[in-house]
Amino acid sequence: MNYCKILNRVLPDNIQCVAWSPVSDEFSSRFDCKSRSYKYYFPKGRLNVELMRDASRKLVGSHDFRNLCKMDVGNGVTEFVRNITAITIAPLKSSDPEDEYTMYVIKIQANAFLWHQIRCILGVLLLVAQGKEQPSIVDQLLDITKHPRKPEYGMASEVPLNLFYCEYGDTKWQYDKETVRQVLEKLQSCWTFTAIKQNMIRDMIDSLMTETSMDNTQCFSENLLQGVRQKNYIPLLKRKTCLSLEEKMRSCKRGKKMVLLSINGDK
């Protein structure tokens, strides 16, 4: 049975199945996943990619990432150690000559991730690449003994983030060539109109910059960082901080007690 074809008939164009695999009744797509790989795309602009790489290498290994995620204590998450197995940062197309518009991709692989972990990591890495923070900021944020409270900073935009690959042990993927062809046609159609729009905008930018002798390529990475832009940059470790894990847990417990008291009071 062509499961992918059946599913794709009722799925939107931006969600498509390309393969399926027989699994046991006990299989869990979440808990049986051996590793996950995310990709995050960004234009080079005037970013110092080498500094970004230096900072990213410090993330590899098993660390407590509570300062590089959004702590979801309300849903019972109190363990923030995760093992990042690999990080690479490279041009999307290494054969093309580089300029400010060169698209880069960072690939991060781990056994599991925390809530908004990738976006928080990119928020910090972009600050490093802009020269606003040193690569050593990663070491400091991973040192939860010295820095138990996360400084307030904006996450990177969710738009360039893509859950690119999930690895499952002994799965045997079944592909149907006709289904793959149809999915490729949809992707190529999407690419066609997106690429046209991209080049129309690029042409307008180049024309306006030439006509006015202005250069504003620095703003590329700024567009990826959420939050209010600071007129005078405040280093991360000098900013206001969020509650620590222990403080959040105590606050969460108090909130639950208040809810229980309210329910009992209604009775």
Quote the pLDDT of residue 216: 66
The percent of residues above 70 in pLDDT, for the chain, comes to 94
Q: Between these two residues, 221 and 217, which has the higher pLDDT value? A: 221
pLDDT-based confidence at residue 217 (cuts at 50, 70, 90):
low
Q: How many CB atoms lie within 10 A of CB 236?
A: 21
In tens, the pLDDT along 181-196 reads 999 999 999 999 999 9
The pair of three-digit structure tokens given for residue 8, joined into one six-digit string: 């794709």
Q: Helix 3-10 crosses helix 177-212 at what angle (to 10 degrees)?
A: 50
CATH 3.30.565.10 fits 27-174+216-253, yes or no: no
Find the mean pLDDT for residues 63-81.
Answer: 91
Burial of 219 (0-12, 13-18, 19+ CB in 10 A): exposed
Q: Can you give the pTM of this predicted structure?
A: 0.89
Quote the pLDDT of residue 221: 83
Are the C-beta atoms of 21 and 175 separated by less than 8 Å?
A: no
In tens, the pLDDT along 92-123 reads 987 777 888 899 999 999 999 999 999 999 99
Find the mean pLDDT for residues 203-228.
Answer: 83
Average pLDDT, the chain: 90
Q: How many CB atoms lie within 10 A of CB 74?
A: 12
Quote the pLDDT of residue 215: 74
Alpha carbon distances (Å) from 135 to 168, 215, 261: 34, 27, 48
Residue 57: name the closest of 142, 130, 115 by CA.
142
Quote the pLDDT of residue 258: 40
The domain spans of the chain are 27-174+216-253
pLDDT-based confidence at residue 263 (cuts at 50, 70, 90):
very low
On the CB side of 140, CA atoms within 13 Å amount to: 13
Report the alpha-carbon distance of residue 121 to residue 64 in Å, rounded: 13
Are the C-beta atoms of 78 and 114 separated by less than 8 Å?
A: no
